[in-house]
Structure 1
């Protein structure tokens, strides 16, 4: 009896020990402005898929407070509040953080259609070339890589602290257009554009080669390897593409991407290690 009691105590002691606790991965991502923000659904679902593929025991949680992208990246760099962030890459972000170089949106983050005020739609009817488009003023976020890309290609960019303010300015007739990724615009227009004078310009798009990655702190390479392994397994068994297409194919069709005039821009911020040669990682409409 004493022997059995000792074994039971040893068993329960193990379950409560730090070693057992270490088996649970607590992974924290930035809480969005709105917990119902549909733009976060796919990155979270893909991260869950990748973690499930590894077989680890994990919990995936939002940060305690709302963190916009710039703040989230700074906190990640300091290994505080969050330990994974998904964001568009650039050379500086890859210096500061550890990127997992698998484009989670297969390059669609660089395919941009335009939110416009319908009072300015005649301006866009007159655009016949990239030169014509350069005469118009896009709105973008102050800390976004997109802003520097647009400026490097000759646009005079009107910057705002965060994306909701861009919608507010468009409603006021300021700026000409707000280029939004095809993976963002539908969800945003369902809220910001509903019942307003805002609309999606129907004829054009911009494309610049870029990728949205999961980033982790440089002090956390084990987590990076874990997520990368899970993503690679999901790619290999087809579940990555299944999730991607079930999320985005209908959106792309609704935006009539096949019939749009697409103006391609240079991306001077594209890091040299971007896996542009691996066609499996990119959606065909935006092959770099």
Structure 2
């Protein structure tokens, strides 16, 4: 059955009107419904805090990350805004709203593994020990370059769903996932016979931003104003806690052995000096 595009109406004083045309954002990825609902709530919150009025429309076809970037960075693309992990290259191609929508949680990774291999992870403590295992990643994901820059073996696939089969068949040893992704995935059919590894947290500095196409500077300015206001009044932090507080507790992030990695893709302008932007546990 063909999906109907989602229309999100944000009501307040008119500021973004573009002859009534809705602003288009990417269709959500399978297995990430909870995170997607949070991102829609962030978008609505930013618009409310910026005192704006516009319609937002979900695109009608799924897109890889590479396709999203192409559509958003080109002036003739079919997207107006998206949310994705930042990188030096992406900030050169699009306009970043440098307020992390996920408070840096995208850099907190736990792994899907085969059940019989859980015991191998119990004593892992360092990046050097992690090099014994091969990660599965998407070919166009920034995380792939981050892992490789840290000397970690990686096998890639162009299609997300193939990575689960690669793990089941032993072509890779683990599939590192953002904390907010892994529950939906583990409960879905793609992760059959795979489990969430309970001991290790792989962590690197990272941020997901709202990005706007380069010919929409006023939209970017309004979104930035709204996001800053949401941080200042605490509403973004409360929204984050409502969606992810139980998840962070359930996966015992503060009690896991943390393996720190560097992120060579992190832009110099990343606001690491703004503690209100970032999750601490």
Q: Tell me if TM exceeds 0.5.
A: yes
Secondary structure of the corresponding residue to residue 184 of structure 1: helix
Secondary structure of the corresponding residue to residue 64 of structure 1: coil
What is aligned with 1:30? Answer: 26
Distance in 1 between residues matched to 2:82 and 2:258, nearest whole Å: 29
Counterparts of 1:75-90 in structure 2 under 5 Å? 75-79=71-75, 80-90=77-87
Distance in 2 between residues matched to 1:66 and 1:114, nearest whole Å: 25
What is aligned with 1:220? Answer: 216
Counterparts of 1:41-190 in structure 2 under 5 Å? 41-79=37-75, 80-190=77-187
Root mean square deviation of aligned Cα:
2.0
What is aligned with 1:255? Answer: 251
Report the alpha carbon displacement of residue 20 of structure 1 after superposing the two structures with TM.
11
Instruction: State the TM-score, normalized to the length of structure 1.
Output: 0.87
Report the alpha carbon displacement of residue 174 of structure 1 after superposing the two structures with TM.
2.1
The question of whether the paired residues in 1 share the 8 Å contact of 2:79 and 2:213 is answered with no
Secondary structure of the corresponding residue to residue 66 of structure 1: coil
Query: Is 1:208 aligned to 2:210, yes or no?
Result: no
Report the alpha carbon displacement of residue 173 of structure 1 after superposing the two structures with TM.
2.4
Report the alpha carbon displacement of residue 35 of structure 1 after superposing the two structures with TM.
9.5
Secondary structure of the corresponding residue to residue 85 of structure 1: strand
Q: Which protein has the larger Cα radius of gyration, Structure 1 or Structure 2?
A: 1
Instruction: State the TM-score, normalized to the length of structure 2.
Output: 0.89
What is aligned with 1:13? Answer: none
Distance in 1 between residues matched to 2:252 and 2:16, nearest whole Å: 52
Distance in 2 between residues matched to 1:177 and 1:71, nearest whole Å: 26
Secondary structure of the corresponding residue to residue 187 of structure 2: helix
Report the alpha carbon displacement of residue 128 of structure 1 after superposing the two structures with TM.
4.5
What is aligned with 2:7? Answer: none
Instruction: Quickly say closer, same or farther: Cα 1:119–1:60, change in 2 above 3 A.
Output: same
Distance in 1 between residues matched to 2:67 and 2:45, nearest whole Å: 26
Unaligned runs of 5+ in 1: 1-18
Secondary structure of the corresponding residue to residue 22 of structure 2: strand
